Structure 1
């Protein structure tokens, strides 16, 4: 800065560089408040050089504002009173009625009408819905509780767009509820807007229940929770729609949270989910609301303070806690944490909460899960056109527009196959058993005979995948998609089928996809070759792995393999134990290996693990908050122990490079071998 120039020079220089737009000011409807706001804005305009856009400014008045104050504010600020349809940053200001969200409905309807004229495929429509419509709804739902009637109206418009062709309306062949479930369960992964709004309400409820220290939480507590906890709060006659939505989400979140007691200074002793009978003990006065768990424990942290416990919870409540937790909560230096049980790390996330609501609804309605094999074949196989994936999904869901499906939907007698005259035109018949489809499969590389095939498309595709192998699956899909296109042209345009043309088109699509993915394939191959051709290790190395199975006891197998600097095998060990999760098993295996190496007098060692989460936590690139909440304490204690070994490193490798430790841990778990320990100082075993 040139100090010879006056401060006014820099004010004038940067006056128009920084602009303040979309300012929202709250104030009391009084003459003093109007004068203060006007004076402040005038000072800001004089200093910054900006001016108030009166034609764009609006004033919202409460219902109790007197008429003379309304006229005073309008004349002072030279702004018009706001109407009910006004928006701020894309969100309605006045909320409560379905008409308040008419701009949102019109915006989405305009996008859908524009896209409908583009003659998109269903794969393209699916992409646009996920990339544009759902983020638009998410933005609106984050600041308002949209009425269910509005959400259902938007969902109906999206459904018509997905199933229609251009502006032509067509009959949906799969229920929208089935489409909005995850792909693993047979849907397309679109969001159910009603469930998603419940998820966002659960997020707000979580922020209040976890004692989050943010401004909006403090405002809500001051207005609605002066005499109640969040779990006992109810709706009032004058509450906002957002608060009604938060209160309605209590049953969804209440049974899926629990307090993990640390120092006991955050979790309140009454009205908080830290034991099973917490719902029966709500605070009745301000003194009880201030009592925390740490107040019920003796000063030395050695058991309950029975007098305080009985005084607060009564004899029966104190007796229950004395039986369940006879030694009291084990207080530590860590802070109390509210745990979300539906997420492994205990942290609330919108993704985990929405997944919980979907699974809960499917369980209540006994919706069968989509077979994992079919899910992988449809959505995870390489070199398959996106529109062909949606086509396969429709075929498995019996949603292709064939005669049997259409006649059953319209309750009309079937007309049969228009190509061969068979009475039952099903998806299996059209794609495999039709007289016009059989020549294609005979001259293809599969040489497939269509007799004796399963009658349902799901069973048929699973059977073919096992017979032809996963490497030939993209070719099979290309042939299916090409034949379906030719069949539709024959039925609706009168063209003749040509097996050679069908196979040629299938080969063209497959070749095009393979060429487009060639660059990525070469890059991945080069990275793998570089990783496998690493130089010899310069220090002692220990390769660690664990095998875990979900049982009542959480059985796991642990193993480590210790190599010398020259790659010779020094020692290996495998053990059987118990763990609460796969991560916990990996952690216990590494702890055992580190303690053994330290006991052998080795001061410098590199530990290799294929558990990315464990590596990230020990290297400091990931927080311990990401681990399973029931092993959170073990992880923190282990980090302190690990940091004492300054010359020990934790490195990550692929599972293929850690095969020996992987096989030993699985062998220990399946055979129940507790300990095997051999030392081979002269035998050389390759590292890879």
Structure 2
């Protein structure tokens, strides 16, 4: 639109002179037609002509810049455009009385006919200015009449209701627990920027839009995510238990209805499943993999854990993104023993970088997640630091007590003895401190082994890895890290 505006203004640019000489040497942008061999740029400029024409007008001064038969200067100019070319170079100046600055009705009538001449003469909007003013092309959407890309964008937003739905997009972009890739995925689905076969077929005539998985319907966004037989099975097997074949409307309508039905806090789970279905579809289409409900489930569990990581990194509690029992895959296990559980893990690499992470859960509800980059001499050292931190957090809970869960069977067994068994002399100080906290805490504190298959341990492990990578540039001894004054450091 910016380039079109330059063309209609007749700016003195080389590329505009070349286009004018090639496509409308004796006419104008407004009256020339499309050629079979025209360039892509010229086709794009012509495609925008109907839009621009609705939002331009002339403020008529002396009439010297306006060609009466070559550009729209009065309302409904296209409908009343004369077919004669005898007065190709005639300007509006020839239709104005220079003394009274009024229209010469006889000239208008001879050129356009009586009815059009009467409409021009009685239209106050295009009445010539009674002053020595120049003609001015106006962009009517802007208050000052000047074209700008900002105003053009606002015009497009107004003409497209979806773009102008500020409340909806404020909700999408501002959702605390929604991963950025999910937000972008929603945007792509709503604006046909996602490569389903129906969208590709619009651009490439040789592509057939029929779904290659079920061969029952054209593959639209709604069909790929909710209507295909695998998608229906995946949604039904998911924790939401949705009968996706009963969802009515397009993708936008489905999102709105789901948002109302399950609430904002559960919406990240819905998008995790949709993302997993899309990923399974892509692997089946382009990698030749067999679609599996089990694999699809692992995808959405991983995505929902990423949502938990995002919420933690932004400082939000898990409740704000629906991380309660039955919603977070890390908490779907049956917590028969009610109480406080602290899942810990440590991560280490040979460069000396390490990270520890704790996930605090009470009665199946995640309370918080915390992470720290540290320095450790080996993997055992990182695990011991993580256990120490978990024990300290549980011990500081007033009069409650709880359990610290780790995937290190060796360390858990070492701390369960009457006196700690030190597996590595280099971590003896930390082992004794962990043993002291466990045995001298005012309330009952214990350690328990959990395998890496446990959801919370898996989540703690992934977050510990992130803490390690985040602390790649940390220098100094572990004692320099403030872990809430833990004496074990």
Shorter-normalised TM-score: what interval?
A: 0.3 to 0.5
TM-score for both structures, normalised by structure 1: 0.30
Q: From the CA coordinates, give the structure whose radius of gyration is larger.
A: 2
- Which structure exhibits the higher relative contact order, with contacts defined as CA atoms closer than 8 Å and separated by 6 or more residues? 2
